[in-house]
């Protein structure tokens, strides 16, 4: 599943939303980890044809933070 999330800067979502891939279920508002960075999920179930041009560059979500 592809999602869009904004990176956190001082615990506040900032900048544009980036696309990530995840194998675990997430919902809007979940905090996720991508490497050492954290982000907040903005959109779930992004269509695969929307990411076809850059699919091989998409980073994978490493874990979902428990609230």
Two tokens, residue 22: 């995840």
Question: Got the DSSP string for 7-65?
Answer: EEETTEE-S--EEEE-SS---TT-EEEETTEEEEEEEEEE-GGGSGGGGGGPEEP-EE-
The predicted model scores a pTM of: 0.87
pLDDT of residue 6: 97
Domain ranges of the chain: 2-64
Q: What is the pLDDT of residues 45-65, one digit of tens each?
A: 999 999 999 999 999 998 887
Two tokens, residue 3: 């999602």
């Amino acid at each position: 599943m592809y999602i869009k999330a904004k990176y956190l800067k001082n615990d506040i979502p900032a900048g544009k939303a980036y696309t990530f891939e995840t194998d675990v279920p997430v919902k809007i508002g979940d905090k996720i980890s991508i490497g050492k960075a954290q982000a907040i999920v903005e959109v779930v179930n992004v269509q695969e044809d929307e990411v076809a041009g850059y699919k091989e560059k998409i980073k994978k979500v490493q874990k979902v933070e428990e609230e």
